[in-house]
Amino acid sequence: DAGITQSPRHKVTETGTPVTLRCHQTENHRYMYWYRQDPGHGLRLIHYSYGVKDTDKGEVSDGYSVSRSKTEDFLLTLESATSSQTSVYFCAIRPGDSKEEYFGPGTRLTVL
Partner 1 sequence: AQSVSQHNHHVILSEAASLELGCNYSYGGTVNLFWYVQYPGQHLQLLLKYFSGDPLVKGIKGFEAEFIKSKFSFNLRKPSVQWSDTAEYFCAARINAGNMLTFGGGTRLMVKP
For residue 52, state whether it binds partner 1 (rule: CB under 8 A). no
Q: What gap in Å lies between CA 58 and CA 34, rounded to an integer? A: 9
For residue 90, state whether it binds partner 1 (rule: CB under 8 A). yes
What secondary structure, in 3-state letters, does 95-107 show? Answer: CCCCCCCEECCCE
Stretch that binds partner 1, among 8-16, 19-27, 76-84, 100-108 (CB under 8 A): 100-108
For residue 31, state whether it binds partner 1 (rule: CB under 8 A). yes
Please give the radius of gyration of the chain, using alpha carbons only, rounded to the nearest integer: 13
Give the nearest distance from C-beta 101 to partner 1 in angstroms: 6
Q: What gap in Å lies between CA 57 and CA 67, rounded to an integer? A: 12
Using CB under 8 A as the criterion, which residues of the chain lie in contact with partner 1 when the complex forms? Answer: 31, 33, 35, 40-45, 48, 50, 56, 58, 90, 99-106
